[in-house]
Chain A
Amino acid sequence: MRIAVDRRRVDPLRPSRVPAGAASDARPADPAAARPAGLLRRALPAVLRLAALALLLAFLFMPERFAPLFAPLTQNGAPAIYARTSLVDLTLGHLGLVFGATLAGGLVALALGILVTRPRGAAFLPLSRTLVQIGQTFPPVAVLALAVPAVGFGAEPTLIALFLYGLLPIFENTLAGLRDVPAAAIEAARGMGMTPRQRLLRVELPLALPVILAGLRLSVTINMGTATIGSTVAATSLGEVILAGLQSGNTAFILEGALVVATIAVLVHDALLILERRVGRRAAGAAA
């Protein structure tokens, strides 16, 4: 089976559909990487990632060792290192919130996306497209704030906002990915005698997977930020450190919290991007 996949469709030529964060994925392959002299340049990102991860883990498990670095930022003998809650617990709580809610939202989004692209769900397609577009104009922090009156303080309002932003980008990209499966691929699958179910599982979903994963990456990126803000409504997340710094005027706490959150967000985003590229390469290889 030989099917030409237009790779550009996965890329941000239609930026209103594809997340802003995906914009740099379109960059051409680095010509230097092919030469031996490019080896160092190619290894550099991996070295940087590992170094950042090592530094992050060292800080999370032994924050007091870093106290001299942050001490100049404090005044009147205020503590340089946030110690009210263990940073490891906060990190685990943060990641648990983000991945739990994004996974739940993503699974619902995947099911809905498959449903409305089947003939039986066609009546819901125009509305669902409009809804994801409108839904994504709602600022996550506004959704978080609106959830507080409905369910009270704590993890619940944060989970609602995280679930919603796990759902919307993944749903939108599931629709886009399934819609852009080449008609020739579906025809060929039908010609081979596949049932609709086999077509979905063996042809449509594998070809749409890179786009769906791009949606997952956007969801996780947004949710890392929203979970941070969740600490203002008493969810257990790394935002607590920044918030404590803001409330007590302790610049050291602000910097610590911000650095930890930013490093984790960048590393997670990076890991998802690598996964996405690997899957994309495999999907393109399978289709060719």
Chain B
Amino acid sequence: MSSATVEPAARGGRLDPLGVVLAVTGLAGLLLPFALARANRLVAGTAESLVAALPPGAAAATLAVLAAALGLALPRTGPWLRLAAGVAGLAALALAIGLVPQHLVAEGDRLARVGPGAGFWLLVLVFAMLLADATARLSLSPAARLGLLAAAILAVAGLFASGHFDGLSILREYANRAPAFWREGAQHIRLAVGSLAAAAIVGLPLGIACARRPGLRAAVLPVLNIVQTVPSMAMYGLMMVPLALLAAHVPLAAALGIRGIGAAPALIALFLYSLLPIAANTAIGIAGVPTSVLEAADGMGMTPRQRLFRVELPLALPVILAGIRIVLVQNIGLVTIAALIGGGGFGTFVFQGIGQAATDLVLLGALPTIALAFVGAVLLDALIDALERTPPP
């Protein structure tokens, strides 16, 4: 999100080309089904348009807000106005979709399911793109981006807590397994962050050693690179086999809870995947510290140890954090697949849902995973940006 100012093209008229594309896509979204109503969680549903899915007053208000927000995107306007249009559009959609179940489902019908349709998702995409474009053009400071993220999380959490979405099918799926949801969520974060922490403990010293010795670097990094290219499902499988044999033949290992399936093979696989970005970026960051700075540190009489901790590591920190960002986002995604070997995490719902052909269960696992990865990326990006803007003394 850097250097994002674009001067108006000389030949351009008053219309913003991106705004036109978004408005046309948004119109298509208004025509597509807004919601899907199904008699139970497995059968195919009937599509309902926005007008049919909402009470007349709410439908009119939603349409008015959406049309106005799409209209605001059309002319060449300032980014703040476009930001407001994006927020207004998303808020209207969130409020509207929560009203659909009460309108479509008869009182007391516990089997019927109502979920968002293609039109809803397309409109969310359009307004999210408008919002993303506005924030990119604003090139906000790291603190402002974090503020925006916090506000978005609070707003979404507030809507969920208020029970506004409770009638929707995904929330019905959640209500049936709320304790499991939070348990798997905690397990997801534990696996992603735990393997990251272990990889940092090993990868940082390894990266420093690689920066000092080109021979070690030439030996270690290509091997770690090969590890990264192994598909995750194969990696989990490869970790399972020795652990299963260990558990079968060494009673002590089995007593310690080491088994071929579960969290242990997942943790080891994630740890191996995490090593390359951390070690390589540490090596690159430290090797990138200018020689003049190192000479100055030596001139001040620093010991090698002081030089490492006071000069080299602080200067390499943005690059090292960039590696940690890669690992965090990558791990949050890869943990999902660990569910296949009984490792737990949100993937449990994804693969259960795939097995039962239950769409809402898939969404219950996939949407939180995407949200986690997105929040992790924004947090670390802001941190890296803040460090780069304020160079250490």
Contacts and interface: CB of A to CB of B under 8 A. Distances in A.
A240 to B, nearest CB: 11
B104 interface: no
A138 B16 CA distance: 28
Contacts of A14: 322
Interface stretch (B46-54, B251-259, B296-304, B329-337): B329-337
Given A15-B322, A20-B326, A232-B351, A123 B6 contact: yes
A119 B347 CA distance: 44
Given A130-B136, A221-B228, A265 B234 contact: yes
Interface of A: 12-16, 20-21, 23-24, 26-28, 30, 73, 119-120, 122-127, 129-131, 133-134, 136-142, 145-146, 148-150, 153, 221, 224-225, 227-229, 232-233, 239, 242-243, 245-246, 251, 254-255, 257-259, 261-262, 265-266, 269
B18 interface: yes
Interface of B: 1, 4, 6, 9, 12, 16-18, 118, 129, 132-133, 135-137, 214, 217-218, 221-222, 224-226, 228-235, 237-238, 240-241, 244, 260, 276-277, 280-281, 284, 288, 319, 322-323, 325-326, 329-330, 332-334, 336-337, 340-341, 347, 350-351, 353-354, 357, 359, 362-363, 365-366, 369-370, 373-374, 376-377, 381, 384
Nearest to B380: A16
A20 B6 CA distance: 30
A228 B370 contact: no
A254 B336 contact: no
A26 to B, nearest CB: 6
A124 B235 CA distance: 39
A27 B132 contact: no
A130 B132 contact: yes
Given A129-B1, A141-B347, A225 B232 contact: yes
B326 A141 contact: no
B366 A257 contact: no
Contacts of B229: 21, 221, 224, 265-266, 269
A130 B225 CA distance: 27
Given A119-B9, A126-B4, A255-B237, A145 B277 contact: no
Nearest to A225: B231
Nearest to B133: A127
A133 B145 CA distance: 15
18 contacts: A13-B284, A16-B384, A20-B326, A23-B284, A27-B214, A27-B218, A122-B9, A126-B4, A126-B136, A127-B129, A141-B350, A142-B373, A148-B354, A225-B231, A228-B233, A257-B234, A258-B238, A261-B234
Contacts of A229: 231-233, 337
A239 B233 contact: yes
A139 B284 contact: no
Contacts of A20: 228, 276-277, 280, 323, 326, 330
B231 A131 contact: no
Given A27-B222, A139-B336, A131 B322 contact: no
Given A23-B284, A251-B244, A258-B237, 18 more contacts: A13-B288, A16-B326, A20-B228, A21-B276, A73-B241, A123-B9, A133-B377, A138-B373, A142-B350, A142-B366, A149-B363, A228-B232, A228-B233, A229-B337, A233-B354, A246-B341, A261-B230, A266-B230
A127 B25 CA distance: 16
B337 A124 contact: no
B336 A27 contact: no
A262 B238 CA distance: 9
Contacts of B224: 24
Contacts of A243: 233, 340
Contact of A139 (B1, B260, B333): B333
A137 B319 CA distance: 18
